[in-house]
Amino acid sequence: MLFLYNLIVQIADFLLKIVAIFSPKIKLFVDGRKPVFEILESKIKPSDKAIWFHAASLGEYEQGLPVIEKIKTKYPNHKIVLTFFSPSGYEVRKNNTVADVTVYLPLDTQKKAQMFLKLVHPEMVFFIKYEYWPNYLNELRKLETPTYLISGIFRKNQMFFKWYGGFYRKALDTFTYFFVQNESSKKLLLQLDKTNVAISGDTRFDRVVSILEKDNSLDFISEFKNDILTIVVGSSWPKDESLLVDFINQTSEKVKFIIAPHNIKSEQIRELKNSISKKTVLFSEVETRLIASLQDFDVFIIDTIGILTKIYSYADIAYVGGGFGNPGVHNILEPATFGVPIVIGPNYSHFAEATALVNLEGCTSVSNKTELNDVFSNLICNDAIRNEKGHICNTFVQMNKGATEVIIKNISNPKSS
């Protein structure tokens, strides 16, 4: 089975190089991996002590960040090596300040896994949430390197729990400990006789709680808001925006809107702005030319990345996009931590925090234009309902923090700390 797996990886490697000619994203995926070993060799000396964290993409990085920060503090003499699998994670966070070295993870062949581990020689390894690369895990097992899964999620439709999944089940033997998010994940691992498992919860709660300790002020958002009730739309897709624009154009309520689309390509931003009949300004316009007064605008479109979290702190109501597509709604915990009532689309069942907040009634799911209009109108006009739902959201986040401390208390010291 390992032979077949390695053959598939080699074929995929070849095909990706061809696809990269036509796809900018795949080109980043392929070209970004070319200098990895050279970078590692230049930045990590044989005498250095290192701890390796792997994140599939941006969401997993944010999820693992509280643990990375704690480990960095606990082991200040170790270099933190951070790897990403996807361009959407690496390209956004390649210049982060928490890791000493940030690179793409080379494809999972035995030779590349051996080379990577030889250069990094990690004393501890953390995989965030998921991604189980058999060759890396096999080599880590041979080296007897303490390896942990943090904020893990297991579902019974995964290959580990199929009759033909023995190859992947074997890879799980590498993990020193599994820190999982919920009871169902623990039960599934126990079915595989994995008793080295603890329910730690989700480190994303620790991540968003820490946001409250930071300076979230943005002068230009304060100027735009001007103490008027504001709806912040985060990570919206065209399906979300088609409903939202209709409400924006027809509402007579005194309310302002800030829209931070998931995709900030200039053509889509232009189409979005042109569809809105009310006075609208782009972030890029504020940056590049003088605006007489942001207070005069009704809609502010954020055509940049990296500031949505701070913008949520100005929200009276939040709409989080993605819920009208697959895989579903984006991160609702950031607005929740600010005590903001949340509205989402119908596709949220794969996200435990969204399901919980919908059940608690801090978050409301809508399926069509009529429902969206009714929910927004109710939240705008009723201060008591708006405040109650916001309180539910903040309390939910506060009640679920603490996963990072559970993990830190239960990891073994590295080979030489």
Residues 123 and 49 sit within 8 Å (Cβ to Cβ): yes
State the Cα–Cα distance between residues 225 and 228, nearest whole angstrom: 6
Q: Which amino acid is at 123?
A: E
Q: Check residue 417 and give its pLDDT.
A: 40
Q: Check residue 23 and give its pLDDT.
A: 93
State the Cα–Cα distance between residues 234 and 286, nearest whole angstrom: 19
Q: Check residue 189 and give its pLDDT.
A: 96
pTM of the model: 0.85
CB proximity list for 21: less than 8 A, separation 6 or greater:
27
For the segment 56-104, what is each residue's pLDDT rounded down to a tens digit? 999 899 999 999 999 999 999 999 999 999 998 999 899 999 999 999 9
Low-confidence ranges of the chain (pLDDT < 50): 416-417
Helix ranges (H only) for 44-202 are: 58-74, 87-93, 110-120, 134-143, 166-171, 183-191
